[in-house]
Chains A and B, each alone.
Chain A
Amino acid sequence: MQLSRDELRTAFKRMCLIRQFEDAVHDEFSAGNIPGFVHLYAGEEASAVGICSHLDDRDAIASTHRGHGHCIAKGCDPKGMMLEIFGKKDGLCGGKGGSMHIADLSKGMMGANGIVGGGPPLICGAALTAKYRDTGGVAVAFVGDGASNQGTTFESYNLAKVWDLPVVFVVEDNRYAESTASDWSVGGSQVGRANGFGMPGVEVDGHDFFAVWDAARQAVERARDGSGPSLLHVKLYRYYGHFEGDASTYKAPGEVEQVKQRLDALDMFKQRVVETSLLDSEELKSIEQEAEKFIADCVAAASTADAPARDDLMTDVYVDYKF
């Protein structure tokens, strides 16, 4: 099965949007324009987009604290996201969630998550709803290599297996859980863990959009046709620190530059589609420029947007009130 040109354009556009979005958030955070703390996804674009290319609005994803890329890949509005990260009233969550809780349920994006390992149980619930309602929907839990060591994740592997839920577990292994190397912190292998719960698992080069896309296609099809859960171990790399402001002293000198030169997801994508004459350089260039301009507009809009009002503090705690 091959990707159409339209699908390739859409995928590249989303990868560019993620990269531009994260670079812009990096700059704005450094300039002191964004409150709180943010965790950036730059470098990991091929994973979110390669996987979410197979999903539509009936499908759900649960994300991590590093959630901006998953949001964009799942079709959330980047402008609403930027406003949210700036803490503005018209943000995707009314400014109440921020970077770590950014969500859009209408797009099947069940939220970034401030709790490591928070997502897998919730995604079992989304999968249960899809199965019970027979929507044909699948549910994808993104976790990092850090969350792969949480009990919630293991419990969810087991629950998804014994209830035969349409779930894909995606372990995005960017080599570091905060500052701790996954080579050290993960006992056994991710694929072996999946196999231990009776699920198929596969290791994927997360820098290569096409490798991710292909592995995800099989996992999503498997879930969608009722064959149960499976796991993708996506090996990739994050360009920025764990959070913005992290000096990344745990990385080797020159490490980031080396990965950028050899394994950049966007460069690899461009090279592949140009070499195979699927898209031409001009087209790619214009997609990149459009993305850059659009994200600049998002930042401009977020910078000048209104903050939430005082009355917003006590709204949306409950659906109905008698407090």
Chain B
Amino acid sequence: MPTKSFREAINEGLRQEMERDDSVIIMGEDIAGGMGSPGEDDAWGGPMGVTKGLMPQFGRERVLDTPISESAFIGCAAGAAVTGLRPVAELMFVDFMGVCFDQIFNQAAKFRYMFGGKATTPLVIRTMYGAGFRAASQHSQCLYPLFTHIPGLKVAIPSNPYEAKGLLIQAIRDDDPVVFFEHKVMYDDEADVPDEIYTIPFGEANVSREGDDATVIAFGRMVNLANEAADRLKESGITVTVVDPRTTSPLDKETILETASETGRVVVVDEAHPRCNLATDISALICENCFDDLKAPIKQICGHHAPVPFSPALEDLYIPKVESIEAAVRELVGKGH
């Protein structure tokens, strides 16, 4: 199977869906780049080069560079979705949701319900999240808990290039609005990715490691850290189940509860700020449903309740570490025998 980067996987997923279905259009700031400027056309392909090459293939009619007006173009994408297209809008950094959130949570998310089931809004918002890029406080947040909170939105957080392509194609074909999170430090990560079109269904967790001693539930980039921690622990005879829910809305509660009950020791890893995040949500779910199966209190490993700092020295402290996951599992395994 060919090896592809996260960037290439997303690009290929977009390209194949645009080839298959002419209702798929993409829009965003500098998504091609060079619009109206004297130099190169397709100058950027998005700030990370993810959409490079799509404009030359599909033309400016389907690859739309926008003014820096997130309210207008995210709302426009929602309006185009509810009138029959399948727009994939790129909200460059999820941090910018502050200037267009109304169009997402009050408009796109609610059309179907408010209009009595008569609307479908097949909108995808691709967005970058996460710390580790030295991008400082306004370009490094996770924020997916806020979207997960909103009924009517679906939220996908792929953890590697294979997941990214399959989940993106599913998102584009999905008839509900989907917010699709891409970690900005993962674009060069590589994995085996089939050339063929495939989808990964929403609401079905991936169990990437199976073990008996503890369950680690992690999201997005944190899945890779969890896998690495599991591999290290295995060397000292501790086996760990790693669960990647893939989508936080819908959420595969069944797999989470089953694996939590089986091991009785749970670590939840979420890069987001620690209050009201995915870790607190998953922990509450487990406590409510399988408290009696737990052998020890649940451990939550998260970012900090502080804006993401700029200084590398500080940002490295902010981001959860493989070592912390490993230590949390060891601590839990020492309990409840």
Interface pair B107/A118, CB less than 8 Å apart: yes
Q: Give the interface residue-count category, chain B.
A: 35 or more
Residues of A within 8 A of B113 (CB): 96, 316-317
In the complex, what residue of chain B is closest to A113 when comparing beta carbons?
B107
- Please tell me if B145 contacts chain A, counting CB pairs below 8 Å: no
| Nearest CB in chain B: distance from A140 CB, A | 12
Q: Which of A120, A159, A323 contacts B66 (CB 8 A)?
A: A159
Question: Contact: A125 with B81, CB < 8 Å?
Answer: yes
Contact status of A121 and B79, CB under 8 A, knowing A111-B111, A152-B71: yes
Q: How many A residues, CB 8 Å from partner?
A: 49
Complexed CA–CA distance, A120 and B102 (Å): 13
Among candidates A106, A155, A316, residue contacting B72 with C-beta atoms closer than 8 Å: A155
The CA of A133 and the CA of B85, in the complex, are separated in Å by 9
Q: Give A96 to B113 CA distance when docked, in angstroms.
A: 7
A163 within 8 A of B: yes
B119 CB → nearest A CB, Å: 6
A128 and B102 contacting across the interface, CB-CB below 8 Å: no
Whether, in the assembled complex, B336 has its beta carbon less than 8 Å from a beta carbon of chain A, the answer is: no
Given contacts A96-B113, A316-B112, contact A323 B250 (CB under 8 A): yes
Q: Tell me the complex Cα distance, A112–B174, Å.
A: 26
A322 touches B118 (CB 8 A): no
Chain A residues lying within 8 Å of B107, measured Cβ to Cβ, are 113, 115, 118, 121-122
In the complex, B117 has a CB within 8 A of chain A: yes
Chain B residues, Cβ within 8 Å of A124: 72-73, 75-76, 79
Query: Which residues of B188-212 have CB atoms within 8 Å of chain A's CB atoms?
Result: 201-204
Interface residues of B in 58-92 (CB under 8 A from A): 61, 64, 66-67, 69, 71-85, 87
> Closest Cβ of chain B: how far from A37's Cβ, in Å?
16
Known: A163-B64, A320-B175. A92 touches B116 (CB 8 A): yes
Q: Contact residues of A with B, CB < 8 Å? A: 60, 62, 91-97, 101, 103-106, 110-111, 113-115, 118, 120-126, 128-130, 132-133, 151-152, 155-156, 158-159, 162-163, 315-323
State the B residues within 8 Å of A (CB). 25, 61, 64, 66-67, 69, 71-85, 87, 102-103, 106-107, 110-120, 151-152, 154, 174-176, 201-204, 249-251
